Amino acid sequence: MFVVSTVMILADPSSAAAFGFIFVPLIAAAAAVPAAVWGAAAGHVVLHLQGRATEPKIVFWSALVAALSLPAVLGYELWSRFAP
């Protein structure tokens, strides 16, 4: 990803292309935060189902909602875009 982004930024003859070196990492960081939250929630749900995580029920249910939200949103968006 880094090489492709760098090549595309440097290939642009515009003087504003240098802003790409600032905005590409910011966009990557903004995408990494929800992915990290989803991964932590999914991991917690798996540990709970294996019986290795003991916590109040509300923690499990909120982690389950967070873990299921990403596939649900992706499924909805794909369905609404490609459904006949």
Three-state SS at 83: coil
Q: What does the alpha-carbon distance between residue 17 and residue 8 come to, in Å, rounded to a whole number?
A: 9
pTM beyond 0.75: no
pLDDT in tens, 53-63: 888 999 999 99
Segment 41-67 shows an average pLDDT of 94
- Which pLDDT belongs to residue 84? 76
**Which of 33, 41, 71 lies closest to 59, judged by CA?**
41
Q: List all residues 6 or more positions away from 62 whose beta carbon is below 8 Å from its beta carbon.
A: none
* Residue 68, pLDDT above cutoff 80: yes
Distance of CA 32 to the CA centre of its chain: 5
**What residues does each domain of the chain span?**
2-82
